Amino acid sequence: MEQLEFKVKQAAKQAERQVQSLSRQIEKLKEEKKCFIKLLASKTITEAEYKEVTQSNNEEIASLQSKLSSLTANNSSGGAE
């Protein structure tokens, strides 16, 4: 029984680390997006370049948010079936 509790706690810790990692990656991408807005405003990049980069950036954010939602949904429902 103790071994099962240990495994459950380890799984919860691992899930929490994954949530934190995904959250950091999402925040990093959002910060990059702000930098690209500044580059566009200063005319360092063109609007086409901005759109290309931010589209890719938005897709990556959506993917990470989907993974994050799955993880948090699994954690709130107990994680195991």
State the Cα–Cα distance between residues 35 and 29, nearest whole angstrom. 10
Is residue 22 a contact partner of residue 64, using CB atoms and an 8 Å limit? yes
Whether 73 is covered by a domain: the verdict is no
Give 78's pLDDT tier (boundaries 50, 70, 90). Answer: low
Whether 7 is covered by a domain: the verdict is no
pTM of structure: 0.78
Rg (CA), the chain: 18
State the Cα–Cα distance between residues 13 and 21, nearest whole angstrom. 12
Whether 31 is covered by a domain: the verdict is yes
Q: Which pLDDT tens digit goes with each residue over 11-69?
A: 889 989 999 999 999 999 999 999 999 999 999 999 999 999 999 999 999 999 999 99
Structure tokens at 4: 């099962």
**What's the number of domains the chain is made of?**
1
Map tokens 């063109």 to a residue. Answer: 46
